[in-house]
Amino acid sequence: MKGALLTGALPALRRSLLLAALWLLALGTAASAQALTDLPTARGLPLTVQVGVAFVDVSAFSENTGLFTATVDVRLRWQDSRLASPPAEAGAPPRIWRDAEADARLAEIWSPGVALTNLKDEPTYQARGLRIFADGTVELMSRTSGDFSTPVDVGRFPFDHQQLEISLATRQSTTHAVVLAYDQDDLDFSQAAATVSLDGWETGFVTLASKPLSGWYNASHARVVAGLEVQRRVGLAVAAIFIPLLASLLIPMLALWLNRIDDGVFQIETFELVNLIVGGLFAVIALNFTIYSSYTALASSNNSVNQLFALNYATLGISLLVNILFYRFQVFERLFGRLVQAEIYRFLMWAIPVIVFTLALSFIFTALA
């Protein structure tokens, strides 16, 4: 009877042991899966993530809004020994996932969570590719199209250089856990495609710079900024802005030069020259409105255009003052006599133009330097 009971209990014991083994296997698998999503610490902390940024296309840039439209490739590389292949597969090619498959695989492993911090709104296009090499090296490639914000400095307009920046940061981890770095291979990758062209600008090299972000409680987050240098083509700006601004300086000069003095007496009535000055004032105001409507960024910075406008207004004021003091009220004749007034007038006829055009050229050459 005891033997029969023992024989009947064996299947139940086997089932219990099998269920326990399956439960332990499932628990181990879950623990292994959970471990793969944790930060790799086999090589110590902080974990280094290599960053490279390539500009595939740049279709628009507005210095007025500080936005540019571009397509960029971002390459991230890091080491995770948990993903290494067995030694027997050391020379095997990398495993590759694309798009949805890459997203699914990324959900199963740890990734640095690097974000494009200066991307405005949602990207118009985004694709991913993932490669895991036999030694555990992980390479994540992302292509993103959209509008990006970038700082603009027009202090040297129209001879200015701008940096079209792509900002990459790890907001999920501090620099104690993850750092972003780049080496020569990343610099070689970070280039503008040969087909990149931008109306009104010449494209140059791509630079990488480490600029950590400040976080809470004195923590910092790793950030790398990639910048594509662009230089403005000055031809259009010179023709549309500087030639009219320099030409408008001739209006107050004409108000001085058109009059003449014979035997200490001015030959042209004051109101005729004042009409010329007032017309010049309206011309400068119209030019001011036209330029700032097209280049709104110029109005809020110190640049050669603002300086030339200020010089135009100052020269118009000086010309009006000369007309009133000399031609209308003849103040210097009453104070010092006709001879002194004539000599002062002749001095001003060449001194004012020399000073004005020297200042104008100095503003332009300062921007050019």
Check residue 15 and give its pLDDT.
Answer: 61
Residue 146, beta-bridge partner list: 70
Full-model pTM: 0.82
* C-beta separation of 81 from 47 below 8 A: no
Residue owning tokens 């036999």: 134
Q: What is the pLDDT of residue 23?
A: 53
Nearest to 298 by CA among 246, 353, 240: 240
Strands (E) across the chain are located at 47-62, 67-79, 95-98, 114-116, 119-132, 137-149, 161-170, 178-181, 201-210, 213-214, 220-221, 223-232, 261-262, 265-266
At residue 90, the pLDDT reads 74
What are 119's two structure tokens? Answer: 């991307």
Residues 65 and 73 sit within 8 Å (Cβ to Cβ): no
State the pLDDT at residue 34: 47
The reported pLDDT for the residue numbered 11 is 58
Distance CA 242, CA 245 (A): 5
Averaged pLDDT, groups of 10, the chain, 369 residues long? 46 56 49 71 92 97 96 98 85 92 95 96 96 96 98 93 97 94 97 95 97 92 98 88 94 88 70 88 95 91 95 96 84 81 88 96 92
Closest CA to 80 of 131, 27, 114, 127: 131
